[in-house]
Chain A
């Protein structure tokens, strides 16, 4: 088995046993990137020299007998909305095309301290607004399971980089599904942690009350190991919680006996692709056969989630994106007075979806509309939280489909924003409630596309989700976790 085909946890073992060096590991992934990347375009910036430098430092420290983090020497790719000091960070936007952050995000500092070599910054929907990675100002990323389809978004580059073996681990960000939806469409495990569990310092803001950084990986164990690196309190983020961080790998093998599992009626809905519903229900049966207690649960406010989300997120975005005015950083279009410079810079610098959301948000926050739109949405958010609190009195984990359909075709929804928004319909209410939520592969469609199941727990119970996901990995029908990429010119890699 080639190094690039290994999971992060097996690479960690190989490195700790000194069977391979981190430089060898990094070189294997760099070769893989050279082969696959031209077909899928998952990266915006490649950092091979940085990765090799970190790897060789890790190697010499390890051979010197130092006790290192278990993931030391295991490479990672990071979504391009997470600030990296001295390294271009674009948010896949023309307005930040040449932006060089003067500081590292807290998660980047944590990765550096733990010794994970950075392979590059991954493609995304501009400012994390989108569900297909088609909204990148640079180029769309392609789904390796079918190059004519989208990988999901907005963390599509991170998902594709992991799924094709260009990196064993990646970080994404999830505002209303942007980790879980691409994880589902690419056949990966993707975790949105509890709001406040991971520091947002240095994550370029989209919607501050919803944004969370989280892992994408092949297995639950890999995500658990990465959570051990990134979770924790941070004085630089006033919304980061001080709750103690558990060892997320400690209970992975505990099984699902006595676990109370609620199937969310609204997320195995009749309008969904029947193959997805069937795959979810089959997985639920597997839980039941191994001692879990299963029942149905209704989250009646799910129908209002999309409406609340598409007022709250654009409102916060319109405020957060006010800072891009061509003065302190970013693109500047010029102009003979300050207002024409602001307006022209923003009009030319932002793409269509970002402008749409700024317009919705500005409208919803404008005089006379605030109470009816933003304030009402924040109150509906309270009602949604209550829905969840009631459900979590009866259940440990809530499950349903991650997405209503498998990966859709490139171009299929790009002209119809509302249809695009509906592809996140299962992901949004978890984000509004601030609860941890994970997507795990649960099957392959008849067309050969991955299907995902979403599992949700009450705040700070990420460990429970990872345990259930780990159980499924050990029990489910062996489905190949990685696609064979069919090349347009014939053959596959």
Chain B
């Protein structure tokens, strides 16, 4: 019944945008199998007639008036950016420009 997680690790790591070292992957495969084996025990329970809980206190959706309000000033928004240029966050190229 145990899930062999070693085949899933690369796929899930890519989905999560996580670079893992080979040793990390190996260790994690075993640990995740153990954890998921325990977690999967909840599948024994019959929940066919049960609604999921998201907020534990019953309350209506909270809305505020649709009015503009001042937001943080730009210098504060940008103060933690590791790379920036003028009023922008700077990132590496997103679209490849060289044909190959």
Closest chain B residue to A375, Cβ basis: B52
A291 at the interface (CB under 8 A from B): no
Complex contact A341–B53 (CB within 8 A):
no
Contact with B along A333-364 (1 / 0, CB 8 A): 00111111111101110101001101110111
Closest chain A residue to B89, Cβ basis: A327
Known interface pairs A307-B41, A359-B32. Does A339 touch B17 (Cβ–Cβ under 8 Å)? yes
Contacts of B42-89 to chain A: CB distance below 8 A: 42-45, 47, 50-57, 59, 62, 64, 72, 76-77, 79-83, 89
**Other-chain contact of B39, A103, A196, A311, A318 (Cβ < 8 Å):** A311
**What CA separation (Å) do A3 and B71 show in the bound complex?**
43
Complex contact B12–A359 (CB within 8 A):
yes
**What CA separation (Å) do A334 and B42 show in the bound complex?**
41
Closest chain A residue to B62, Cβ basis: A238
Closest chain-B Cβ to A108's Cβ sits at a distance in Å of: 16
**What CA separation (Å) do A194 and B44 show in the bound complex?**
29
Contacts of A367-415 to chain B: CB distance below 8 A: 372-373, 375-383, 385
Complex contact B42–A380 (CB within 8 A):
yes
Known interface pairs A307-B41, A343-B18. Does A329 touch B47 (Cβ–Cβ under 8 Å)? no
**What CA separation (Å) do A382 and B45 show in the bound complex?**
12
The bracket for how many chain A residues form the interface is 35 or more
Complex contact B16–A318 (CB within 8 A):
yes
Complex contact B55–A329 (CB within 8 A):
no
Known interface pairs A308-B42, A359-B13, A379-B47. Does A328 touch B89 (Cβ–Cβ under 8 Å)? yes
Residues on B with beta carbons closer than 8 Å to the beta carbon of A380 = 42, 45, 47
A418 at the interface (CB under 8 A from B): yes
B26 at the interface (CB under 8 A from A): no
Complex contact A378–B96 (CB within 8 A):
no
B2 at the interface (CB under 8 A from A): no
A206 at the interface (CB under 8 A from B): no
Known interface pairs A336-B92, A383-B47. Does A366 touch B12 (Cβ–Cβ under 8 Å)? yes
Residues on A with beta carbons closer than 8 Å to the beta carbon of B59 = 196, 241
**What CA separation (Å) do A110 and B42 show in the bound complex?**
40
Residues on A with beta carbons closer than 8 Å to the beta carbon of B8 = 363
Main secondary structure of the interface of A (DSSP, over half): helix
A6 at the interface (CB under 8 A from B): no
**Other-chain contact of A102, B24, B54, B79 (Cβ < 8 Å):** B79
Closest chain-A Cβ to B68's Cβ sits at a distance in Å of: 15
Closest chain-B Cβ to A137's Cβ sits at a distance in Å of: 16
Residues on B with beta carbons closer than 8 Å to the beta carbon of A331 = 82
Known interface pairs A379-B51, A379-B52. Does A330 touch B82 (Cβ–Cβ under 8 Å)? yes
Contacts of A85-124 to chain B: CB distance below 8 A: 98-100, 102-103
Complex contact B16–A337 (CB within 8 A):
no
Residues on B with beta carbons closer than 8 Å to the beta carbon of A433 = 56
Contact with A along B4-28 (1 / 0, CB 8 A): 0000110011111111110010001
Complex contact A459–B56 (CB within 8 A):
yes
A29 at the interface (CB under 8 A from B): no
Contacts of A398-448 to chain B: CB distance below 8 A: 417-418, 421, 433-435
**What CA separation (Å) do A19 and B83 show in the bound complex?**
52
Complex contact B57–A372 (CB within 8 A):
no
**What CA separation (Å) do A341 and B76 show in the bound complex?**
24
A320 at the interface (CB under 8 A from B): no
Closest chain B residue to A460, Cβ basis: B57
B1 at the interface (CB under 8 A from A): no
Contact with B along A200-215 (1 / 0, CB 8 A): 0000000001000000
Complex contact B35–A360 (CB within 8 A):
yes
**What CA separation (Å) do A331 and B20 show in the bound complex?**
17
Complex contact A417–B52 (CB within 8 A):
no
Interface centre among B18, B31, B41, B51 (most CB of A within 10 A): B18
A-B contact pairs, 20 of them (CB 8 A): A100-B79, A102-B80, A195-B57, A196-B57, A303-B41, A306-B39, A327-B89, A329-B80, A332-B83, A335-B92, A347-B20, A359-B18, A359-B28, A376-B42, A377-B39, A378-B54, A379-B50, A381-B53, A383-B47, A459-B56
Known: A209-B54, A418-B38. 13 other contacts (CB 8 A): A102-B77, A239-B62, A304-B42, A306-B38, A327-B82, A339-B17, A358-B16, A359-B32, A360-B39, A362-B16, A378-B52, A379-B52, A380-B45
Query: 6 tightest A-B contacts by CB?
Result: A434-B56, A347-B19, A378-B52, A329-B80, A332-B82, A379-B47
**Residues in A lying within 8 Å of B, measured CB to CB:** 98-100, 102-103, 194-196, 209, 235, 238-239, 241, 301, 303-304, 306-308, 310-311, 318, 325-332, 335-344, 346-348, 350, 352, 355-356, 358-360, 362-364, 366, 372-373, 375-383, 385, 417-418, 421, 433-435, 459
